[in-house]
Structure 1
């Protein structure tokens, strides 16, 4: 398998489930059994072998890493519809606040955090992170890095 930098690496994992990202047009394999590899982009797999030893599955592994981000969406330029489409594969709740303002709670895995930050930023002023503060700080840090690159 190739890592993000194109270097070859080897790991023993237990496949959990396969996920398809329509936005990115790629398949991801969700795994357990390896501390450092939990999501594998199928396009990066070079070789695969069936192991003769078993890997123990951690009980409840999927639910222990669940996180929640709360967004306020101002429904201009069909932002609400676009948000619901972009985050369609995540578990979420939507609630009308007033006028054209909505609150969306999205549950996600830690591994999806970077992708979520990028997607939230793509909505510009129509989406605001209200909680948790740690996620809002990730947004601010990403913007700082983008501004530093422009200078």
Structure 2
């Protein structure tokens, strides 16, 4: 399987998840719900207009089906005859284990994992420590932050927001934005938490119940956050996600042309790992990439594109290309003054 192949990796992960969940049996509607939540909008993936759902649920001929599941007494079970609690386990390569061992040395990772989980991982990676150095991670293209992060507070806030996401509960938060504006006791539905490796900061996507719009806050600027236990919102997280999906993308994607010099392709996929993308080869070491994004994330997308340096250019839309050119001109004028 090709690295960074969106379609193949996405469906590979979905099959992996369903096979593990099907150890004790899954009903048809449960499998369909899992597929609908994770598959692409384009349902047809096989030849002759076959669907992923149909091939997984054995709705075609034996040759056309995946044959991963078998039906018994109204439920579908994995074909894997494995007595382990997890039939299909993740097996890390040697390089991945070195990477993992290096990552758990990062303070932010240690803080989020907690002592118990950290000790289990360190025990599992004992052979890595004994056989070689774990200093295999080199952070490149990373911004030096001008603020200090209170790891204990950020970790606490992280898990409060995560609790709101898991239990579909609104949160009440107070925040100071980058311009110094204060927002106190704001009511919002938490949508997701993301981490920017380049900026070394956590952000939370929220849906403001007071302004009826999507917003994003940095965890390190939060003054306070708590679960709104006694508030029953008529707006549900599922409704917000459905609404966001309807307005998910700008009218057209941003198309960039990238020359793979000095690891530009790898840095590009790392920077846009949370965005849906389509990529294609146009010449040797030269690629064209479509980036789909929420409209309120456009500034972030532009900033990420510019961070890739001279190895990338915006092909379309013209409006975004002009924004990038204007920013480059302003930066050049600033440096020459």
Establish whether TM, by shorter chain, passes 0.5: yes
Partner of 2:243: 61
Inter-CA distance 149–92: structure 2 relative to 1 (3 Å threshold): same
Name the SS for the 2:199 alignment partner.
coil
SS at match of 2:176: coil
Q: CA contact under 8 A between 1:14 and 1:55: conserved in structure 2?
A: no
Q: How does 1:80-119 map to 2 (within 5 A)?
A: 80-119=265-304
Whether the 8 Å CA contact 2:257–2:289 is kept in 1: the answer is yes
Q: Is the 8 A contact 1:39 1:111 kept in 2?
A: no
Describe the SS at the equivalent of 1:89.
coil
Q: Do residues 9 (structure 1) and 191 (structure 2) align?
A: no
User: Higher helix fraction: Structure 1 or Structure 2?
Assistant: 2
Q: Is there any run of 5+ residues in structure 2 with no aligned partner, and where? A: 1-174
Q: CA deviation at 1:55?
A: 5.6
Is the CA contact (8 Å cut-off) linking 2:177 and 2:217 kept in structure 1?
no
Please give the residue correspondences for 1:26-41 in structure 2 after superposition, counting only pairs within 5 Å: 26-32=201-207, 33=209, 34-35=211-212, 38-41=215-218
Per the alignment, in what secondary structure is the counterpart of residue 48 of structure 1?
strand
Find the aligned partners of 2:234 and 2:189 in 1 and give their Cα distance: 6
| 1:79 equivalent in alignment to 2:264 | yes
Q: Is the 8 A contact 1:69 1:135 kept in 2?
A: yes
Alpha-carbon distance change, 99 to 85 in structure 1, aligned in 2, over 3 angstroms: same
Contact 1:129 1:136 in 2 (8 A): yes
1:33-86 superposed Cα distances (whole Å, 9 cap, x missing partner):
334661111111112241625262565332204132111111222222221222
Provide, for residues 80-100 of structure 1, a one-character-per-residue CA deviation record: whole Å limited to 9, x for no partner: 222122222221121001222
Give the structure with higher Rg (CA).
2
Q: Which residue of 2 aligns with 1:121?
A: 306
| TM-score between both structures, scaled by the size of structure 2 | 0.41
Aligned to 2:231: 52
Within the alignment, does 1:24 sit opposite 2:209 as a pair?
A: no
Residue 54 of structure 1 aligns to a residue in which SS?
A: coil
TM-score under structure 1 normalisation? Answer: 0.85
More strand by percentage: 1
